[in-house]
Amino acid sequence: MPCNKQLLWVDDEWPRQGGRRRLLEELVGKDNLTLVQTAEAAERALQGEQQFDCVLIDIMLPRNDEDLHLELVHLDAGIAILKLIRDGAYSAVSKDVPVVALTARGNNEAIKQIEQLLTGNHDHLLPKPARSDDVRRAVKKALEER
């Protein structure tokens, strides 16, 4: 039974992750899962009217559609979104919204920055490649603690 909470999933690779998408839809309900692929699209969603109970974000993101088509990803794009969330800059989430962050690589300084932004008990940092079950568990825990 879906928990009927709103989840924003920010990941340029979500179209190739059908199994993970189905698990998340089962968790929150198909109509409660918002999917975006770029930092620019995430910012539009986070400034919109829809309120989100949790954000699942891949830290390495294309900044915009042009980067997406060129398959360019930027470590700073996801970190910038996390900083703005924690600063309370977006109307669609509270600054303490649970965040599940995925990262494939990065230098130690970048990992430190991410960890500093994920300070809540309901925040999670998962290494990529992450198993879909691990992602589902982290999101479920984040939503339950909300």
Rounded Cα–Cα distance for residues 55 and 38 (Å): 14
Q: What is the pLDDT of residues 86-134, one digit of tens each?
A: 999 999 999 999 999 998 766 677 778 888 888 877 899 998 888 989 9
Q: What is the pLDDT of residue 25?
A: 94
Identify the CA nearest to 28 among candidates 59, 55, 61.
55
Q: What is the pLDDT of residue 76?
A: 83
Region 47-75: what's the mean pLDDT? 89
Domains annotated for the chain, with CATH where assigned, are: 7-144 (3.40.50.2300)
Please say if the pLDDT value at position 145 is more than 80.
no
Q: Global pTM?
A: 0.91
